[in-house]
Amino acid sequence: MKKTLAVSLAALLASGGFAQAQGVVNLYNWGNYTSPELLERFEAETGIRVNVTDFDSNDTALARIRQGGHGFDLVVPSNTYVQTWVEEGLVQPLDPEIVTDRGNIAPQWVDVDFDPGREYSVPWAWGTTGVVVNTAVFQGDDIHDLGLILDPPPELQGRINVIPEMSDVMTMAIYYAGSDDSCTDDMEILRQVRDMLMAAKPHWLALDYGTVDSYAAGDLDAGMYWNGASMRVRLQNPDFAYGYPRTGYPVWMDNLMVLSDAQNTENAMKFVNFVLQPENAALISNFARYANGITGSEPYMDEVMQDAPEIVVPADLVDAGRFGQACPQEITDIHTQIWTELLQ
């Protein structure tokens, strides 16, 4: 989901004001995902300054918080990781005396499997993972094909980026291999996935996450990417289009949570309630170009969001989208083994 308002942890720690200052809250979020206008409005209304530090994957964020001594108050993990954060005691329940507006959460996002009743989290944004491609370079006519990444045509080879998010990559590859279960224990499917990924990697230029500007500038021509980021690319360079792989693609939600060892807990809870206001949630969408899960936010969203092809899924591809699930540990371990080999 990336450098906007990123704050150096080392510099903040050196200043002595990272954790103890009363007028701050420290947010650990995906890079290039936090609306500057949202932060400005929150500070203007509350006097609380938000410091933002970026991470590039769910695994990076989880590992950093597990280490302790991080100084963060808030984090934004994806739905497939929320249960892990809760089970390991890394996050705390939301304070109902401060977080009073959970009723603004859209009904379909309230009693979710990963956080029933929204005891620990609120929606930040939700979207899909698919394929982005430069249609001025790609010579075919089907952009809804993961083969553009896993078995790329010659014109795209060496011009491809893949997001470094294990869950998304493994899920899409498993669907492409023929299973509709992202947590399948079919070893033949998993071996096929491993072989496909390893065979495809030589045709990729990079595994990177902060690539909106690189696509827009024409430094990359295709990739496995998130829908909102792909929309930001298209708004800068209309040659790019977003595809929903017909073999299956993930639907996900990122969620705002308060860390158990937060030093600015009250400020963090205030920020959580702030993003539940429709006009504030819309700022998240207008910046990052994802839907947000808050009822009543649509009138405040940019008109360009209303019928964007990255937001409105083609009718014949709606059923190919599947909401992500957390896999059993033994399956996650296999995914990690494949992922580690791919990154070497």
Task: Report the CATH fold assignment for 9-126+252-305.
Answer: D-Maltodextrin-Binding Protein; domain 2 (3.40.190)
Evaluate whether 64 touches 70 at the Cβ level (below 8 Å).
yes
For the chain (344 residues), the mean pLDDT of every run of 10, in chain order, is 35 37 88 97 97 95 95 97 97 98 97 96 98 97 97 98 96 97 97 98 94 96 97 98 98 98 97 98 97 96 94 96 94 97 95
What pTM was estimated for this model as a whole? 0.89
Residues of the chain with CATH 3.40.190.10: 9-126+252-305, 127-250+313-343
State the sign of the Cα–Cα–Cα–Cα dihedral 192, 193, 194, 196. Answer: positive
Looking at residue 209, what is its pLDDT? Answer: 87
CATH 3.10.20.30 fits 127-250+313-343, yes or no: no
Residue-wise pLDDT tens digits, 67-94 = 999 999 999 999 999 999 999 999 999 9
